[in-house]
């Protein structure tokens, strides 16, 4: 069993998740803590709540729940595959180093003490279109601006974070370029491509939905609408009544941009971190090393996964070819058996005719003037024909025509017979 694959029973996983924090276990297994939680749910294994270990560290004594056996063999076998475990040692070391550097940076300056980004005089050429769009775009009713479309990075942030976003993208692009990786704007997101492998990501700002509190102007407008509708109803002017607006002239919720930037991968890559975001003591800018290291690791992972898919496809195609050869060999074998049976039947018929002719009286003549004579003539001709068709020379001619025993067998499989199909249909 590969080191990247771990097998547990439900009891073993239960004991493990109640022995130490989920994040620690997930890191040891090479998966995300969320992925571990989903595995526990899928196999009906109780796992600690979010605040359990904090309460334990605070000195509280909280007994774990009782383990409940389930009579289901499928649930009792838990296979956990570590994507990171499949990576080369060099890549794993790179990820660990980047994680350690990121942890050191988190101990530095709190996020609210970070100086605002200074305006860039010349953004990187790959993000020029995005920078221009963000710096000149008109905000929507929530203050949001977007750079989405051909040649842009698919970014949506508040107008007050435009300059910071441009600075972040410039720094990320420069850092990637130093590692010989090119950031490519992709309309709705960004991506880095190496050969046939790519990883897509985006930068967004965290938002919150808050119940909208109408302003005095909005309430006055709504009251005016209601008065006009009521007046039309009193006059029974139903045509006017139907044309007057009846909805409240304000949204149910407001979208609030919190100022927290989030870097995230578009697709889920098993075992890899998906998001980096501003926190109380960190900013996404402080996590460049971790972000770039993860991009590089995912590219390596995607390359290996693609190569595995290609290898599986080659094996599938080759197995189909072998199934095709096996089918043709069986068809040829059926033709061989059929021809051999035909030879045996013809020889048996010739022997029977010869034995019957031996019983014909010597006085009987092969004359066409009588029924018996004509039959004897036909029987001898039939016997000659059967003898000719069953000679070695005739058989060799048939072998060549039917290709039953070729000198070079193009249906030969050096690996032998292929395994039986899993699904015969």
Res 109: pLDDT: 46
- Kindly write down the DSSP assignment for every residue of 189-240, as one continuous string: SEEEEETTEEEEEEEEEEEEEEE----HHHHHHHHHHHHHHHHHHHTT-HHH
In sequence order, the 6+-apart residues with CB closer than 8 A to the CB of 360 are 376
Would you say residue 222 lies in a domain?
A: no
Answer whether 79's CB lies under 8 Å from 9's CB.
Answer: no
Would you say residue 271 lies in a domain?
A: yes
Domain match, 139 and 276 both = yes
Name the 3-class secondary structure at 106. helix
Res 366: pLDDT: 67
Domain match, 109 and 38 both = no
Q: 50-90 pLDDT, tens per residue?
A: 888 888 888 888 889 999 998 888 888 998 877 665 555 55
Rounded to whole angstroms, the Cα distance separating 318 from 313 reads 8
Q: Which of 50, 82, 114 is the last residue of a domain?
A: 82
- Kindly write down the DSSP assignment for every residue of 311-330, as one continuous string: HHHHHHHHHHHHHHHHHHHH
Kindly compute the dihedral angle of the four CA atoms of residues 150, 156, 160, 163, in this order, to the nearest 10 degrees.
-40
Would you say residue 219 lies in a domain?
A: no
Answer whether 198's CB lies under 8 Å from 186's CB.
Answer: no
Distance of CA 188 to the CA centre of its chain: 20
Range of the domain at 15: 1-82
Which residues of the chain register pLDDT less than 50? 1-2, 109-117
Please count the CA atoms within 13 angstroms of the CA of 361 that sit on its side-chain side. Answer: 5
Which of 283, 359, 328 is closest to 115 using CA atoms? 283
Which of 339, 340, 306, 297 is closest to 96 using CA atoms? 297
Domain match, 319 and 302 both = no
Q: Which of 260, 275, 306 is the last residue of a domain?
A: 306
Strand segments, DSSP code E, in 252-409 are: 253-265, 275-277
Domain match, 102 and 76 both = no
Task: Give me 380's structure tokens.
Answer: 């001898």
Host H or E run for residue 15:
helix 10-17
Domain match, 143 and 292 both = yes
Which of 323, 347, 331, 326 is closest to 403 using CA atoms? 331
Tell me how far apart the terminal alpha carbons of the chain are, to the nearest angstrom: 31
Host H or E run for residue 183:
strand 183-185
Q: Which of 34, 56, 82 is the last residue of a domain?
A: 82
Which of 240, 286, 284 is closest to 259 using CA atoms? 284
Domain match, 264 and 162 both = yes
Domain match, 274 and 329 both = no
Domain match, 298 and 325 both = no
Res 114: pLDDT: 43
Would you say residue 355 lies in a domain?
A: yes
Which of 2, 21, 160 is closest to 79 using CA atoms? 2
Would you say residue 116 lies in a domain?
A: yes
Domain match, 167 and 92 both = yes
Answer whether 284's CB lies under 8 Å from 276's CB.
Answer: yes
The single-letter DSSP state of residue 369 is T
Cα angle value 99/105/106 (rounded, 5°): 90
Domain match, 208 and 131 both = yes
Number of Cβ atoms within 10 Å of the Cβ of 67: 12
Would you say residue 226 lies in a domain?
A: no
Domain match, 282 and 206 both = yes
Number of structural domains (the chain) is 3
Q: 332-346 pLDDT, tens per residue?
A: 999 999 999 999 999
Q: Report CA-CA distances (Å) from 324 to 13, 310, 317.
A: 45, 21, 10
In sequence order, the 6+-apart residues with CB closer than 8 A to the CB of 347 are 386, 390
Task: Give me 332's structure tokens.
Answer: 């040829």
Rounded to whole angstroms, the Cα distance separating 105 from 76 reads 42
Res 258: pLDDT: 92
Domain match, 98 and 57 both = no
Would you say residue 158 lies in a domain?
A: yes
The single-letter DSSP state of residue 127 is G
Res 257: pLDDT: 94
CB-based burial, 74-113: b 16+ in 10 Å, e otherwise: eebebebebbbbbbeeebeebbeebbebbeebeeeeebee
Would you say residue 224 lies in a domain?
A: no
Lookup result for tokens 């407008």? 221
């Amino acid at each position: 069993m590969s080191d990247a694959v771990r097998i547990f029973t439900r009891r073993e996983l239960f004991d493990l998740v109640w022995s130490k924090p989920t994040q620690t276990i997930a890191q040891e297994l090479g998966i995300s803590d969320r992925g571990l939680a989903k595995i526990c749910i899928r196999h009906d294994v109780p796992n600690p709540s979010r605040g359990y270990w904090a309460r334990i560290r605070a000195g509280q004594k909280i007994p774990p729940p009782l383990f409940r056996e389930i009579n289901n063999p499928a649930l009792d076998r838990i296979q956990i595959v570590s994507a990171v475990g499949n990576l080369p040692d060099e890549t794993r070391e790179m990820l660990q180093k980047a994680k350690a550097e990121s942890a050191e940076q988190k101990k530095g300056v709190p996020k609210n003490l970070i100086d605002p980004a200074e305006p860039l005089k010349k953004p990187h050429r790959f993000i020029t279109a995005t920078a221009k769009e963000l710096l000149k775009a008109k905000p929507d009713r929530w203050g949001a601006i977007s750079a989405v479309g051909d040649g842009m990075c698919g970014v949506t942030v508040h107008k007050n974070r435009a300059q910071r976003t441009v600075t972040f993208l410039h720094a990320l692009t420069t850092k990637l370029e130093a590692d010989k990786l090119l950031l490519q704007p992709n309309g709705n997101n960004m991506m880095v491509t190496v050969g046939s492998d790519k990883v897509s990501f985006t930068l967004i700002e965290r938002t919150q939905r808050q119940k909208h509190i109408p302003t005095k102007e909005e309430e006055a407008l709504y009251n005016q609408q209601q008065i006009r509708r009521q007046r039309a109803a009193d006059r029974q002017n139903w045509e006017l009544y139907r044309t007057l607006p009846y909805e409240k002239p304000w949204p149910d919720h407001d979208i609030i941009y919190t100022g927290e930037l989030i870097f995230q991968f578009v697709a889920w890559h098993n075992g890899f971190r998906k998001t980096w975001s501003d926190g109380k003591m960190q900013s996404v800018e402080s996590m460049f090393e971790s972000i770039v290291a993860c991009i590089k690791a995912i590219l390596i992972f995607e390359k290996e996964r693609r190569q595995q898919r290609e290898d599986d496809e080659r094996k599938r195609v080759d197995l189909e070819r072998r199934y095709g050869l096996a089918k043709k060999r069986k068809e040829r074998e059926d033709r061989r058996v059929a021809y051999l049976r035909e030879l045996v039947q013809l020889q048996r018929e010739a022997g029977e005719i010869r034995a019957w002719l031996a019983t014909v009286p010597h006085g009987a003549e092969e004359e066409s003037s009588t029924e018996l004579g004509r039959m004897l003539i036909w029987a001898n001709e039939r016997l000659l024909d059967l003898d000719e068709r069953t000679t070695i020379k005739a058989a060799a001619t048939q072998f060549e025509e039917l290709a039953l025993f070729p000198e070079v067998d193009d249906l030969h499989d050096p690996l032998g017979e292929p395994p039986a199909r899993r699904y015969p249909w």
